A = this chain, B = another copy of it.
Amino acid sequence: MNIGEIARRAGVSRSTVSYALSGKRPVSEDTRRRIQEVVDELGYQPSASARALANGRTSTIGLVFPPAGNHYTGMQLDFIGSVVEAAAAYDYDVLLSPSGVDSDRSFQRLLGERRVDGAILMEIRLRDDRLDHLAAVDFPSVAIGRTAHPEGSWWVGLDHTELVQRCVHHLADLGHRRVAFVNRPQQLLRAGYESAQRGLDGFTKAAAERGLTVRTYCCGDDAASGQACVQRILHDDPATTALVTLNEAALGGLYRGLAQADRLVPRDFSVTGVVAGRWAETVTPQLTAADVPAAEMGRLAVELLVERLDQPGARPRHHLLVPPISLRASTGPAGVPPGPDLGPATTP
């Protein structure tokens, strides 16, 4: 059933039906009601494809996120959920595109075939060819994350440098002198993932400022890797008393590694980092962390994109978020670290 059918049954022309439905031209109350009746009776809904073809807008936004394999993290889930929800509020649908790079088939389809009006990108790299490409063709998009040179572009990001610095200062204030940093997987760091790179920067800088003895580690996005990472940390420097992490997926494994090494959190060992709030609360003791406001970021990204779509030519806008550290239960004053085989340290 199509608009012609409605028109015929209502005894009017197709254009009148179109206008009656869109309200873009006045229609007499009489005919409008007659049309509405037919529409209701037949449950007519205009075809999205035809409409998209005619007016050049799909009412769909693309959400570009990295292909799996790299396991997804809870944070990504929160982003996806909030983007979809926020988009629905503006009557946009969301098309998912698993694309790591510019040249991915899925990414090319999204743009080249004009399946979406605009795009939101996740998992930004400091140099990101997807964003370069989008900027080059002036395609409306908003990044969740910030490149090395975000000037003049649309994004909503987190100040990872600052957040990790705060974590380090928090630990230093508690008296910790030997601290480890547990980053995302090496391959992501190498690829220039923003959070991994900026987080590492912040860690290094703050550690130097406070004169801490530190080591940095890359860690796979899963529990087993986290557990192994803690073993390495304690092997490399058994006197380590705290760690900072960005690696949400490894968190459970980090805790397990510590338990296995008989380091009680937070008495013998403190843990903190940057993690989405819901996930920080699933571990015991609950993680003191800068909570990634994933839901808010997703919502803001959609708002920016909608604004950009509604007002082509609008000046680029962005949001840089710096959520506070939520003090929970995983950090405490540094005790005397246990020597090998001497059992847990005694807290003064």
Q: Which residues in A have some Cβ–Cβ distance to B below 8 Å?
A: 43, 45-53, 58, 60, 63, 67-68, 71-72, 74, 76-78, 80-82, 84-85, 88, 91, 93-98, 105-106, 108-110, 112-115, 222-224, 249, 251-253, 255-256, 259, 278, 281-284, 286, 295
Docked Cα-Cα span, A204 to B63, in Å, equals 43
- Residue numbers in B under 8 Å from A224 (CB-CB): 281
CB of A93 within 8 A of CB of B81, answer no
CB-based contact A45/B108 at 8 Å: yes
Q: Is the CB of A278 within 8 A of B77?
A: no
Copies in the complex: 2
Contact in complex: B77, A113 (CB < 8 Å): no
The 6 closest A-B pairs by CB, nearest first: A252-B282, A45-B112, A48-B113, A49-B52, A77-B77, A256-B284
* Contact across chains for B113 and A85 when beta carbons are under 8 A apart: no
Do A81 and B68 touch (CB < 8 A)? yes
B281-A60 in contact (CB<8A):
no
B88 touches A77 (CB 8 A): no
Q: A96 is contacted by which of B45, B78, B93, B256 (Cβ under 8 Å)?
A: B93
A338 to B58, CA, bound (A): 64
Contacts of A76 in B (CB 8 A): 77
Instruction: With both chains docked as a complex, state the minimum distance between the C-beta of A259 and any C-beta of chain B, in angstroms.
Output: 6
Complex partner residue of A284 from B106, B259, B286, CB under 8 angstroms: B259
B112 touches A84 (CB 8 A): no
**Apart from the given pairs A222-B281, A253-B282, 4 other A-B contacts in the complex at a CB distance below 8 Å:** A49-B114, A93-B106, A249-B282, A256-B286
* A117 CB to nearest chain B CB (Å): 11
Contact status A223-B106, CB under 8 Å: no
Distance of A91 Cα from B104 Cα, bound (Å):
12
Roughly how many angstroms separate A98 CA and B88 CA in the complex, as a whole number?
8
Which B residues are CB-close (under 8 A) to A52?
Answer: 49, 52
Per the bound structure, the CA–CA distance linking A85 and B98 in Å amounts to: 7
Q: How far is the CA of A97 from the CA of B85 in the complex (A)?
A: 9
| Contact partner, A95, options B46, B95, B106, B110, Cβ 8 Å | B95
Contact call A94/B96, Cβ cutoff below 8 A = yes
Bound CA span A67–B85, Å: 7
Q: List 9 A-B contacts (CB under 8 A).
A: A48-B113, A48-B114, A63-B96, A68-B295, A72-B78, A77-B80, A91-B105, A93-B115, A95-B95
CA distance A158 to B181 in the complex (A): 40
A72 touches B68 (CB 8 A): no
